[in-house]
Amino acid sequence: MNQNIDTTALPRSKIEELKNMGYHYCSDVEANLEDLRSVLNNDWEELAKVPKVENALEIFQKEVLSGCILTYNKELDKILQNVICPQTITEFTGFSGSGKSQVCFQLCISVQLPKWCGGFGGQALYISTNKNFNSSRLRELAKNFLRDYNSLKVRTQKTEYNLTEESIMQNIHYIDIISGEDLLSCILLLDNYLEGKNIRLIVIDSITQPLKTMEVSARFGLLNRFFQQLRILSNQFDLAIVLTNDLTVRFNEKDAIITPSFGDSFYHMVNSRILFSKNYSVFHAKLLKSLNNTQIEADFYL
């Protein structure tokens, strides 16, 4: 059985052109590549490319070396072990004021922890859609982080790898978004921006607002294109992605259930989901979905 040229990403018009010339299968095109240069303009190699086959051992070695992003909050890290890894998408959900953005700020700082003590030594990109970005709070968190980091340096008698409040703030990039279309175009053009920078974490806070303003029928397609592009980016630049999502109410007969927005297909597309809540001053996090399939909970203070 041969592969039909319909299955490639060639534009419709080119496919018709090739079929009129009697080429129906990829193998035939490959055999006559020299004659078809004028039609295909050297695109064929890219189109016929098969994604790399890796064995699980290679992936395991890579995963062990890269590790995952933690918050350095002892209680919260119990559930974040192996969750926010490069090339995966994590969703934070919960009512407003449940600590989602706070944890995101913390992640933006902790991704900068140098490699010698098990960090990523990278930068972060914060895409805000709800103007929740608070630089003074970020500075406060950076101060706390520096205190711990410097005491660690003294203990291990390291003198290099200085971090300062300024350098931490400079390594967090910030983009402000208003509408859903903006968000998609921003993601589509992001690879230019990421080129040459060492960004290892993208936070999108929140994904709900811009999508809710869109028409429901347009939302589904947009969301899936958005996820596809995020995966391509995270694969290309080896970065972790964190989204925040709001809660909504769903009716089933006489029950009203509070669930995260955008339904089951959205839930399917993310790799992990963490539900945040707050009771007085105690924050609570519950890992609902994860790659290693364990559901654990933790109480923590911010």
Partner 1 sequence: MVFKLINDMVSSFQLQMDRLTSDIHSLLNKDLVKELHKRNIYTVIDLIKAIQVDRKVVEKISKLHLREIVDLNKFLLKKYGPCAENAFEHYQRIILQSAILQTGIGCLDKLLDGGLFTGYIYEICGLPSSGKTFLCLSLARHILTTTKDQVYYIDTKHDFSATAFRHMLADSKDQAAEILSRLLVVRVHSRPEFLNTLFSIKKILRVKQTSKLLIIDSLPALYFLNGNHTENNSFLNYTVNILNYLVNECNLVILVTNLITLWSDGDIKKVDVMKERISCGGYWANVPNARIKLKRKHETCIVNLTKAVKAIPPNCECELKFTSQGFV
The set of residues, in sequence order, having a beta carbon less than 8 Å from that of 199 and lying 6+ positions away, is 122, 123, 124, 125, 173, 237, 239
- Asked if 28 interacts with partner 1 (CB under 8 A), we say yes
Nearer to partner 1 (CB atom), residue 153 or residue 273: 273
Q: Shortest distance, CB of residue 171 to partner 1, whole angstroms? A: 25
CA–CA separation, 113 and 77 (whole Å): 15
Spell out the alpha helix ranges (H) of 157-248: 165-170, 180-188, 190-194, 208-212, 216-237
- Asked if 291 interacts with partner 1 (CB under 8 A), we say yes
- Asked if 292 interacts with partner 1 (CB under 8 A), we say yes
CA–CA separation, 84 and 108 (whole Å): 12
Nearer to partner 1 (CB atom), residue 61 or residue 144: 61
Q: Shortest distance, CB of residue 9 to partner 1, whole angstroms? A: 4
- Asked if 55 interacts with partner 1 (CB under 8 A), we say yes
The set of residues, in sequence order, having a beta carbon less than 8 Å from that of 251 and lying 6+ positions away, is 257
- Asked if 135 interacts with partner 1 (CB under 8 A), we say no
Q: Shortest distance, CB of residue 67 to partner 1, whole angstroms? A: 10
- Asked if 132 interacts with partner 1 (CB under 8 A), we say no
216: number of Cβ within 10 Å:
8
Phi, psi torsion values for 4, nearest 5 degrees: -75, 145
Near partner 1 in 221-260, by CB under 8 A: 221, 224-225, 227-228, 231-232, 234-235, 250-254
- Asked if 220 interacts with partner 1 (CB under 8 A), we say yes
Nearer to partner 1 (CB atom), residue 43 or residue 169: 43
CA–CA separation, 259 and 168 (whole Å): 35
At 11, which amino acid appears? P
Burial degree of 198 (CB within 10 A; 0-12, 13-18, 19+):
middle
- Asked if 15 interacts with partner 1 (CB under 8 A), we say no
- Asked if 296 interacts with partner 1 (CB under 8 A), we say no
- Asked if 35 interacts with partner 1 (CB under 8 A), we say no
Catalog residues that contact partner 1 under the rule CB under 8 A: 1-4, 6-9, 21-26, 28, 31-32, 47-57, 59-60, 62-64, 82, 85, 87-89, 220-221, 224-225, 227-228, 231-232, 234-235, 250-254, 263-265, 267-269, 271, 273, 288-289, 291-293
